[in-house]
Amino acid sequence: MKKLFALLVGMFFVCASALAAININTATQQQLETLNGIGPVKAKAIIDYRSKNGAFKSVDDLKKVSGIGDKTLEKLKKDISISGASSVAPAATAPAAKPAVPAGKPMAAKKEASKPVAKK
């Protein structure tokens, strides 16, 4: 049983690391921002470069983007690709929790409590 569990855990980590690749040719700004060392400015620079020059031919082409050098590229190499779908959903696109009370609309209990009481 322990061997089976260890095998399953090992497979999970292998699958998780395989799914972590971001395709720099198709990724959105939010997806790019999930990468270590890439903030809004660099993510926009990647998208702008891609729009002007077309798809990246290799991961090393990312060094052609302003603000990305050898050190940044080395940090990113394990997390990026130039083919396939970007497989990491950015945290920014997770559905937001619905508010308990819609903005600008009081709850029914509060509405009744705020009605004036008729004097007898």
> 56-102: per-residue pLDDT in tens?
999 999 999 999 999 999 999 999 999 876 654 444 334 444 445 55
**Taking the domains of the chain in order of start, what are their residue ranges?**
13-92
| Beta strands at 22-23 and 80-81: parallel, antiparallel or unpaired | parallel
Rounded Cα–Cα distance for residues 40 and 75 (Å): 17
Half-sphere exposure of 104 (CA within 13 A, CB side): 0
Q: Give the Cα-Cα-Cα angle 12, 84, 37 (nearest 5 degrees).
A: 75
Residue 84: C-alpha distances to residues 15, 19, 21, 23, 61 (Å): 15, 10, 9, 6, 17
Residue pair 70/63 in contact (Cβ under 8 Å)? The answer is: yes
User: What is the pLDDT, as a whole number, of residue 92?
Assistant: 39
User: What is the pLDDT, as a whole number, of residue 9?
Assistant: 56
Q: How confident is the model at residue 108 (pLDDT cuts 50, 70, 90)?
A: low
User: What is the pLDDT, as a whole number, of residue 116?
Assistant: 61
Q: What is the pLDDT of residues 14-69, one digit of tens each?
A: 444 445 599 999 999 999 999 999 999 999 999 999 999 999 999 999 999 999 99
Q: What is the pLDDT of residues 3-23, one digit of tens each?
A: 766 665 555 544 444 455 999
Top CATH class, 13-92:
mainly alpha
Q: Give the Cα-Cα-Cα angle 19, 94, 23 (nearest 5 degrees).
A: 35
Q: How many CB atoms lie within 10 A of CB 38?
A: 26
Residue pair 38/79 in contact (Cβ under 8 Å)? The answer is: no
